[in-house]
Every structure is written in C-alpha cells, then in structure tokens.
Amino acid sequence: MMDNKTMEPVASNGRDEAELSAYEKAAAEDLDPRCIPQNLDGPPPVGDEIHYPDYPAEDHEIWHTLFERQMQMLPGRAGEAFMQGVEILGMTPDRIPALRDLSRNLEAATGWRIARIPGLLHEKDFFTLLANRTFPSTDYIRGKEELDYTPAPDLFHDMFGHMPMLTEPAFADFYQLFGQAALKAQGADRPRLERLHWFTVEFGLVRQEEGLRIFGAGILSSKNEVTHALSKEVEKKPFDPAVIVETEYDVWHLQDLLFVLDSFEQLEEGFRSWTKQRGLLQ
Ligand SMILES: [Fe+2]
C-alpha cells in the first residue's frame, strides 16, 4: 500500500544511500505521472475557501462502494478513535464529502483544518501544512479499475484513511509536532522520520482493552491490508521510536511487521522525547 504524499522522491543525487527514503529508492521505477510531486504555486485553499467539485455520478458510486466495503470490515478491527472520528466528521456513504464541511467539523474537534491540494506534494509544502495544523487533501477519486489499489493519492485515502484520526486530541497534537520536526530534519533524520510516519500514521496499531486495533490510514483505506494487518502472518512489536526509526519497510507489498501503541499519549510523548534527543524539537 503506497502512502499518499509524504516524503516523496526528491533529487537524490550525491546523497548517501543511508539518507535516501524508501520512496527515493523506489523512484527510479515509479513512472506513474500522478506520483510525481508537485509544487504549490501559492497557498492552497483552506476550509470554507474550498469549492465542491461537480463530481460525475460514477465518482459518488466509487465512494459509496469503497466506504461501505471498508466500514463493513472495520467494526472490531479499527480503533475506537477512528470509528468515532468518522461520525464526528459526518462522513456518510451516499456522497463524497465536501472538504469544507470536513474541515469545519475537524476544526471544532481539535483545531485542525483541511487544505485542498492538487496531488502529491513536495515535502516542504506538506510538512509546512502539518506544522500549521492543516491537513492537505486531494479532492478527486480513483477510477473503478483501481478500487483495490492505487499508487497515486486520492480522496478516499486522504479523507477516509487520514481525517478521522485527526479528531483524536493526542494524535492531532502528535501530527502537528511531526510536521514541525520534519521541517527541521536533515540528512539521515529524514528517512528516520519517514519510517516513524509509516509505522504510525500509515500502518499503526493500538492496543485497546478488547484487543489490537488498527489506526493507520494505509491499512484502514485498503481492503487487503485490513484483513492482513491483524492476522498471525504479521509480526507485532511494541511501539518504540528508537526501534521504529531504524526499521526498513516495503512500500509495494503487504506489511509483515507492525508496531503497537498502548495509547495515543504514548505516541505523542514518545515522539516528543525522541525529537528532543535529536535536537529537532525543544
Ligand atoms: Fe497517507
């Protein structure tokens, strides 16, 4: 499962192999033009500034199919915070949500807002938005032929996968800190942060009283990852930032190792202390 728009390939000439992100290493083979990062040519529209596209009926049908399919599988698998987040944001299967409505609901919950972006972003733009408590989202949906998998960003992954967790206060604070730290990171700290992002924001698990639950957007927005993630085929390790930042992962296949949080407070505190040690945050 490909991530959307984080730490995408940038010029890697002359950089040490250890400093390259998984995307940078894969960039040579990745020729899908939708996966080439774009520069913002000005501040993107945020919240009420975002207009609702005139989606064809087929796009709403694709949303309906994906939303229903994931929601059927998620009770007992997705974390409580995610399930509540879907409600708080007011997402329903009948039509593609408007980014400005999602932004308004999210802002009331945790002070995060949503920016509409044209596609994969360069790191600096992406992190700057996160650092300002603004989540960048696309507003176009994958085609019918890509229901199960798309290598490119799309609104189903951005809205359904990512936004519900931003209603969780400690997660919301952590993600802003992540943006701030990522803006400062240099050299090998950049892929380290990328790994931390991968194993939490995209592929994180959390332990609840009832058992292990999913909160990572890369899992929650993918049919195959949802059934795979909690299976015995996947090794689970306890959350430890020092371990995660040195753990390699595979962008192109189902994950065989995941990390488990005890709580979102643990994520925020663990991240704070790791970044402090690295001099990335005060
Ligand atoms: Fe993502």
**Which CATH number is 183's domain given?**
1.10.800.10
- Please list, in sequence order, all residues whose beta carbon lies within 8 angstroms of the beta carbon of residue 207, skipping any fewer than 6 positions away: 213, 260, 261, 262
Rounded Cα distance, 155 and 259, in Å: 26
pLDDT for the residue 19: 67
The structural domain count of the chain equals 1
Provide the domain limits for residue 44: 17-277
Ligand 1 centroid, distance to 218 Cα (angstroms): 6
Q: Check if 64 is active-site.
A: no
The confidence band for 13, taking pLDDT boundaries of 50, 70 and 90, is very low
Contact 165, 171 (CB under 8 A): yes
The yes-or-no answer on residue 253 being catalytic is no
d(CA 5, ligand 1 centre) in Å = 6
Band of residue 142 on the pLDDT scale cut at 50, 70, 90? very high
Q: Is 109 among the domain residues?
A: yes
In a domain, 166, yes or no: yes
Active site residue 157: yes
Q: How far apart are CA 222 and CA 239, in angstroms?
A: 22
Catalytic residue among 21, 103, 137, 221: 221
pLDDT at residue number 4? 43
DSSP state, residue 234: S
Mean pLDDT in the chain? 91
Region 215-229 average pLDDT: 95
Q: Given this model, what pLDDT does residue 203 score?
A: 97
Residue 110 inside a domain? The answer is: yes
Cα 61 to ligand 1 centroid, rounded to whole Å: 22
- Tell me if 6 is assigned to some domain: no
The secondary structure of residue 97, as a DSSP letter, is: P
Does residue 249 contact residue 225 with C-beta atoms inside 8 Å?
no
Of the listed ranges 90-94, 144-148, 186-190, the one predicted with least confidence:
144-148
221 secondary structure, DSSP code: T
The whole-angstrom separation of Cα 173 and Cα 134 is 12
CA 94 to chain centroid, in Å, comes to 24
In a domain, residue 217? The reply is: yes
The span from the CA of 7 to the CA of 126, in Å, is 9
DSSP assignment, residue 163? G
CB 83 within 8 A of CB 208: no
Backbone angles phi, psi at 261, to 5 degrees: -85, 155
Q: In angstroms, what is the span from residue 3 Cα to ligand 1's centroid? A: 4
Place of tokens 């952590």: 174
Catalytic residue among 8, 24, 157, 168: 157
Looking only at the bridges linking them, the beta strands covering 113-116 and 235-238 are: unpaired
Q: Output the pLDDT for position 17.
A: 59
Render pLDDT for 65-99 as a digit per residue (tens, 0 to 9).
999 999 999 999 999 999 999 999 999 999 999 99
Mean pLDDT for 180-191 is: 97
Report the greatest alpha carbon distance in the chain.
51
Residue 137 lies in a domain: yes
Task: Take residue 215 and report the two structure tokens written for it.
Answer: 């909160």
- 202 is a catalytic site residue: yes
pLDDT at 28: 55
> How far is the centre of ligand 1, averaged over its atoms, from the C-alpha of 216 (Å)?
9
In a domain, 7, yes or no: no
Q: Does 98 fall in a domain?
A: yes
